[in-house]
Structure 1
Amino acid sequence: MTLIPKPFVFARHAQSEFNAAFRIGGFTDSPLSETGIQQAKDAAPILSAIDWSVVATSTLQRTQETAFHAVPKQTIMAYEQLKERNWGDLEGCPIEQQLPYDVTPPNGESWRDFETRVLGALNEILSEHSWPLIIAHSGVYRVLNNVINGTPYCPRIGNVTPISFVPSQDENGWEITPFKGSFTCYQMP
């Protein structure tokens, strides 16, 4: 499965209570920590300055809370398929217990099923909206990295660190850069 070549901005949610405790969050609906609330508010000057075609989040509280604080005047559309990977029996365990991505956790979701689910949602969003802001999870970012660069293994994206994805003539077909609040690198059709 491929990603529709349309521009978008991706941001991982702000720090959750599970992030702060170094626990595997996955499907667990962990709210933002106090630090996370401040991170989301700190991102507002860049993210809320744009009139996004849609602000898409997962249905998990940590992504919706991030959007609430980072883009407070925009309507949020929550997508069940953008949820983090279901880590099954590992939910809530220390982060050191996380398995390699190609290993299915006990009673959890396989990488293939997770990637298929996430790509379906991303392509639905991209087919319906001209320049979306997608606030989701580090696993969703790893799906993007796998589709574009051929591996889910990459540095963990920082909390509320917006990244611009723009189709290009580059080797991998995308220009991926930190989002600084403008669209100067891409002419909207």
Structure 2
Amino acid sequence: MQLISKPFVFARHAQSNFNAAKRIGGSTDSHLSELGEQQARNAAKLLNKSWSAVCTSDLARTIQTAKLAVPGHELKQFKGIRERDWGCLEGCPIPDATDYFATPENGEPWDDFYKRSIDTINHILAQYEHPLIIAHSGIYRAIHHSLFGTPKGPRIGNIEPITVQPKRDQTNCWELIPYRGHLL
């Protein structure tokens, strides 16, 4: 599945209580930790810009992050960019290595998660010229898979925004660049 060829900014939510405890949060609705709230407030210096839309998942940690990082903006919530349901692994310690293609017991298969993630991002990109999407590390992995053929790669940090953009004058070539306050 390919993303619509249009730039956008993606940020993973600030630190959640599950992140702080080094546990898999998945589709469990974990709120931000105290540090996460401060991270989101600090991100406002960079993110509180004029966006065509500020889009989040329907989970509290993304909504809280957006309210603190881009205060006063209307939020558009999309269930399709909620984190993957890790089934029986939700709440378990985060392993050193993750097999994204394995389906945990009672969990969501990668292919289903990947499809809904990219379909939802494409829906957002079709509607909005330069959106900010605040979601989850799994959504970032789906983006990475769409652009580079694999979900594997460096883990995106909490509230470290990335510009996702097509390379100029190159078909089907993308780049992920730390967001510095404006689209390139």
Global fold match (TM > 0.5): yes
Counterpart in the other structure of 2:53: 54
Shift of 1:167: 1.5
Shift of 1:159: 0.5
What does residue range 150-161 of structure 1 map to in structure 2 within 5 Å? 150-161=149-160
Q: CA RMSD in A?
A: 1.3
What does residue range 81-92 of structure 1 map to in structure 2 within 5 Å? 81-92=80-91
The 2-side partners of 1:15 and 1:166 are apart by 25
**Deviations 1:103-160, CA, capped at 9 Å, x for gaps:** 0010000000000010111000000000000000000000011111111011110110
**Maintained 8 Å contact 2:37/2:68:** yes
The 2-side partners of 1:164 and 1:81 are apart by 20
Query: Is 1:107 the counterpart of 2:106 in the alignment?
Result: yes
The 1-side partners of 2:147 and 2:170 are apart by 11
The 1-side partners of 2:33 and 2:8 are apart by 27
Percent of counterpart pairs with the same letter?
Answer: 53
Shift of 1:97: 8.0
**TM superposition outliers: structure 1 runs of 4+ over 3 Å:** 169-172
Counterpart in the other structure of 1:79: 78
Instruction: Give the structure-1-normalised TM-score.
Output: 0.93
The 1-side partners of 2:145 and 2:101 are apart by 12
**Maintained 8 Å contact 1:24/1:98:** no
Counterpart in the other structure of 1:143: 142
Shift of 1:166: 1.6
Counterpart in the other structure of 2:131: 132
The one-letter amino acid paired with 2:121 is L
